[in-house]
Amino acid sequence: MSPERRGERKSSRRGSRGGLAGYGGLALMAAAPLAAPAVLRRLDRRRDRGEMEQYAPSPGGTSLWAESRDGTRIHLLSHGEGGTVVFLVHGWTCNRTIYRYQQDRLKERYRVVTVELRGHGLSQVPASLDYSPDRMAEDLKAAVDLVNPERFVVAGHSMGGFTALRFYRLYGDEYRERLKGLVIIDSSGLPLTEGVIMGGLLKRLYPMPLDRLLRLAGRYGGALDGIKSAVKESAPAYYLVRWGAFGRKPAAEEVELVREMVMSTPLSSIALAAKACIDFDNLETLSRVELPVLLLVGEKDKLTDVRVNRETAALLPQARLVVLPDAGHCTLLEQRDAFNAELEGFLSSVLA
C-alpha cells in the first residue's frame, strides 16, 4: 500500500474518532440537565440535620372535624390544652405537617390547632369544587367556632396568610374581643401577582387563558393524579419544590418533607387553590386591621417577596416585619430557631 493510501486511512480513523467524541460530548451536554436534579439532591443530603422525623400523616395530636358553611369537612389537629389558642393555617399544596416544629414548641404554653383547608391533607375536597377566597375563610371560621377559644391568634403561611387576612375582613368584628393578633408567614396583603416571580407574565395570562385552564384541571385533575404519583419520588419533582419553595442551601430532609406534601395533594386542589391564591386581594383590608400583626418572610422568597411584605407592613397600622436571611418560602423550616423565637415573642406580647 502506498504511503499516500496509508495516510488517508489514518486520517479517516482520526476523523471517525473525532466525530464519535463530538457526538459523545453532545450527548453529555444533553444529559446534564436531566442529571442535575439528582446531583443537587445528593449535595443537599450532606446538609441534613438528622433532626426531622420521617414524614407521617398524623404526627401526634388529636384529630377534630369541623364542617364549613358549604358542608365540606375540615380536619384539625389539636395539641395542648386551654382556652388560649394559636390557630396555624398551612399554605398552598401543604398540610398540617408544615408546622411540626411549631406544634411541638408551642403546645406547652398554648393550645395549638392546625387547620387543613379544603382539599388539603385529610380535609374533604368540596363537592362544588369551590376554592374561592371566601370559602377558605369559612373553613377557618368553622375551625374557630368548633374550638370556641377564649382568646386566640391566627398564623397563616403563604395561602394561609391570605386566608387569615380574608377571615379578618369577613369576621373580624364578630371576634373583636377574642382575636388578639395575626401572623402572616411568607405571604402578604397584596395580590399574589405583585410578589411572585414572573408576576408580570402571570398578569398577562390571567384571567384568560389561565383561569380556564385551572378550572379544567380542577374538574378533570383526578384522571391525571396517576401520572403525578408516578413522578412523586423523582429527582425532578424534588428540584421543582426546592427551586420554588427554598433558599440557596436547604437541607434535603426539609425539601423532601415539602415535596411529599405537594405531591400528595390532589391535582384538582392544586389547580383550584392556585386560582384562589391569584384571586385573593386583601389590599383594602390592611388599613382597617385593628390588631398587632407580625410578618415573617424569607430573604430569598420567590412567591411573596420582601418588597411586597414591606408594602404590606407600611399599610398595616400595627405591624412588625422580620426578614429571615437566606431563607426562601419556607422560613418556618429553613430558619426554625429564629422563626420560633420571633413567633413566641409575638404570642407572649399579645396573649400575655
* 36 — pLDDT class (breaks 50, 70, 90): confident
CA-CA distance, 110 to 83, in Å (whole number)? 8
Residues 343/102, Cβ–Cβ less than 8 Å: yes
CA-CA distance, 188 to 303, in Å (whole number)? 10
Cα-Cα-Cα-Cα torsion 220, 225, 231, 237, nearest 10 degrees, comes to 70
Q: Kindly report the CA angle at 292 between 351 and 144, in degrees rounded to 5?
A: 60
Report pTM: 0.89
Residues 331/185, Cβ–Cβ less than 8 Å: yes
pLDDT per residue as tens digits for the range 283-322: 999 999 999 999 999 999 999 999 999 999 999 999 999 9
Has domain 62-351 been given CATH number 2.160.20.10?
no
Average pLDDT over residues 229-254: 94
pLDDT per residue as tens digits for the range 103-149: 989 999 999 999 999 999 999 999 999 999 999 999 999 999 999 99
Residues 329/186, Cβ–Cβ less than 8 Å: yes
Residue 49: the pLDDT is: 58
Average pLDDT over residues 344-348: 98
CA-CA distance, 224 to 118, in Å (whole number)? 20
Residues 96/121, Cβ–Cβ less than 8 Å: yes
Least confident among 18-22, 75-79, 253-257, 290-294: 18-22
Q: Where are the alpha helices (DSSP H) in the chain?
A: 3-45, 100-106, 133-147, 159-171, 192-195, 199-205, 210-220, 225-230, 235-245, 252-264, 267-279, 306-315, 331-334, 336-351
Residue 339: the pLDDT is: 98
Domain ranges for the chain, please list them.
1-36, 62-351
Residue 139: the pLDDT is: 98
Q: Cβ contacts of residue 316 below 8 Å, gap of 6+? A: 189, 286, 287, 289, 293
Residue 5: the pLDDT is: 57
User: Under the phi-then-psi rule, with left for phi > 0, alpha for psi from -120 to 50, and beta for the rest, what region is 266?
Assistant: beta
102: cell is: 411549631
Q: What are phi and psi of 87, to 5 degrees?
A: -90, 125
pLDDT per residue as tens digits for the range 41-94: 988 888 765 544 443 334 589 999 999 999 999 999 999 999 999 999 999 999
